[in-house]
């Protein structure tokens, strides 16, 4: 039977080639679909590595308008209650502030100059956005990838009078790690309610890079005009201490063996005015990223499932036509004493002889096409998300800046690798589908007697 099967496959080359091409194409697409999902998992794990098991305390903007400039107004004592609850292993808190860079020039563009009137330029001619943080490596703009440290070290809890500045701002003013600069309270800043007039000398501990993804309507929205400082420095700009300052938000990292949802539920039982604040999973602060991951998963599933189902339908039709033309051959084989099981084994062997080379070819084809198709899927998904974000921003009048860009972050690359695991999964699934297709196509023939088959041929 095996010899007969091999002879039939080689003799009926066109029919064999058609089935081989169908199996190859569908196995290739299915393999690429699985590999894109794996690549998405790796990219998501890398992106969410620092925030997966964490939650963020934010102001509830439905009832809490925040500071005069719209920033967060979370109290330090409420942050400390969560820290001391025993549910978290680490935390990062942020103060949003505005300051003037003393004796140095900030970065300006034609667009920002065009959007700002002379009065505003005069009041904020050297203004930078300051984010005070107790651990800059976990600060939102660094976690989202909007900023990346290129020189020096990150800020730590014990730092005082230390800052990180942008590479372009440093180059424009001939500054480097270790240099000292001065920043000063801005009396025109709406959040400077105490009208503080502090001038603070700080040391540059590190330099970061990164550039706006969209347009900036004001100079302070440019990445280049952002300064990351320690908590004490940011608090002093408004005449506060670490204890009396109000915070933009705070992110808490949960111990690995604890369930995040249960921890959040327990935290909400603390003596804190939860009408003013909200607790959200940190991953929820990246909706565009979540949407891009879901969109790529959906496309990858369609490739995998579609490939399997389409292969089953097409191969079933081809096998049905193939077997239907072999009624006379089956009748002769039955007449000379071949059993139905032997004939079924021959048919199965024929399909195996076609499928094996198809699987091998599909492995190499998927390797060659995987990255190309993966990048097309990525561009298609993220392009649609970007268009949606652009429309929402235009209609709502949202500004730019690193915070907004981080919120709108999507996956930017996929490293699609066709490994043996994906190959084995596809071979198993595809073989199961092919087996079902073979059974369906041969059942009607093999259940008939030789005389009935010969009558059908006539």
95-105 mean pLDDT: 95
Whether the per-residue pLDDT at 249 is higher than 90: the answer is yes
Whether the per-residue pLDDT at 422 is higher than 90: the answer is no
pLDDT for the residue 15 = 80
- Where is 184: in which H helix or E strand? strand 180-185
Backbone angles phi, psi at 417, to 5 degrees: -120, 125
Whether the per-residue pLDDT at 26 is higher than 90: the answer is no
Backbone angles phi, psi at 185, to 5 degrees: -60, 145
Query: What tens digit of pLDDT does each residue of 158-177 get?
Result: 999 999 999 999 999 999 99
Residue 302: band (very low, low, confident or very high) from pLDDT cuts 50, 70, 90: confident
Residue 290: band (very low, low, confident or very high) from pLDDT cuts 50, 70, 90: low
DSSP state letters, 43-106: HHHHHSTTTTTEEEEEE-TTT---STTS---EEHHHHHHHHTTSSEEEEEEEEEEEEEEETS--
Residue 208 pairs in a beta bridge with 149, 166
Contacts of 349 (CB under 8 A, 6+ apart): 1, 2, 5, 6
196-207 mean pLDDT: 96
Whether the per-residue pLDDT at 84 is higher than 60: the answer is yes
Residue 43 pairs in a beta bridge with none
Q: Where are the alpha helices (DSSP H) in 325-412?
A: 327-335, 340-396, 402-407
Rounded distance, CA 301 to CA 96, Å?
A: 42
Query: What tens digit of pLDDT does each residue of 32-74 get?
Result: 888 888 887 777 666 655 555 788 999 999 999 999 988 999 9
Rounded distance, CA 256 to CA 219, Å?
A: 41
pLDDT for the residue 394 = 45
Q: Which residue has the higher pLDDT, 123 or 293?
A: 123
Which tokens in the block code for residue 37? Answer: 């999902």
Task: Please provide the average confidence, as pLDDT, over all residues in the chain.
Answer: 82
- The counts of H helices and E strands in the chain are 15, 12
Query: What's 255's DSSP letter?
Result: P
Out of 245-249, 368-372, 385-389, which region has the weakest mean confidence (pLDDT)?
385-389
Rounded distance, CA 355 to CA 363, Å?
A: 12
Q: Which residue has the higher pLDDT, 173 or 354?
A: 173
pLDDT for the residue 393 = 46
């Amino acid at each position: 039977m095996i010899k007969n099967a091999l002879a039939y496959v080689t003799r009926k080359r066109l029919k064999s080639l058609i089935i081989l091409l169908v199996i190859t194409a569908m196995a290739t697409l299915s393999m690429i679909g699985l590999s894109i999902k794996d690549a998405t998992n790796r990219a998501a794990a890398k992106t969410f590595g620092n925030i997966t098991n964490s939650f963020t305390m934010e102001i509830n903007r439905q009832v809490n308008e925040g500071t005069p400039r719209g920033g967060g107004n979370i109290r330090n004592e409420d942050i400390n209650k969560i820290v001391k609850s025993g549910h978290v292993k680490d935390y990062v808190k942020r103060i949003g502030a505005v300051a003037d860079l003393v004796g140095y020039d900030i970065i300006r563009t034609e667009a920002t100059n065009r959007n700002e009137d002379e009065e505003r330029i005069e009041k904020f001619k050297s203004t930078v956005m300051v984010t005070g943080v107790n651990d800059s490596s976990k600060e939102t703009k660094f976690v989202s990838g909007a900023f990346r440290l290129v020189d020096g070290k990150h800020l730590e809890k014990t730092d005082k009078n230390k800052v990180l500045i942008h590479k372009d701002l440093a180059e424009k003013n001939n500054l480097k790690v270790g240099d000292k600069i001065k920043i000063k309270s801005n009396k025109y800043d709406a959040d400077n309610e105490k009208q503080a007039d502090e001038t603070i000398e700080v040391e540059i501990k590190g330099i970061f890079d990164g550039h706006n993804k969209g347009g900036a309507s004001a100079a302070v929205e440019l990445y280049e005009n952002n300064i990351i400082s320690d908590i004490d420095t940011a608090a002093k700009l408004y005449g506060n201490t670490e204890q009396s300052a109000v915070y933009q938000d705070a992110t808490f990292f949960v111990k690995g063996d604890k369930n995040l949802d249960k921890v959040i539920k327990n935290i909400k039982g603390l003596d804190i005015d939860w009408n003013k604040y909200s607790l959200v999973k940190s991953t929820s602060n990246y909706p565009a990223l979540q949407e891009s991951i879901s969109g790529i998963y959906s496309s990858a599933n369609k490739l995998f499932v579609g490939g399997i189902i389409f292969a089953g339908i097409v191969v079933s039709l081809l096998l049905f036509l193939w077997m239907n033309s072999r009624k006379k051959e089956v009748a002769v084989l039955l007449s000379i004493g071949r059993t139905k099981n032997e004939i079924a084994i021959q048919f199965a062997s024929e399909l195996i002889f076609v499928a094996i080379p198809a699987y091998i070819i599909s492995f190499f084809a998927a390797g060659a096409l995987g990255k190309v198709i993966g990048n097309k899927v990525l561009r298609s998904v993220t392009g649609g998300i970007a268009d949606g974000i652009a429309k929402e921003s235009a209609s709502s009048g949202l500004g730019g800046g690193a915070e907004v860009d981080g919120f709108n972050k999507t996956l930017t690359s996929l490293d699609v690798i066709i490994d043996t695991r994906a190959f084995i999964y596809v071979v198993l699934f595809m073989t199961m589908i092919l087996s079902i297709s073979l059974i369906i196509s041969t059942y009607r023939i093999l259940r008939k007697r030789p005389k009935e088959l010969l009558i059908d041929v006539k």
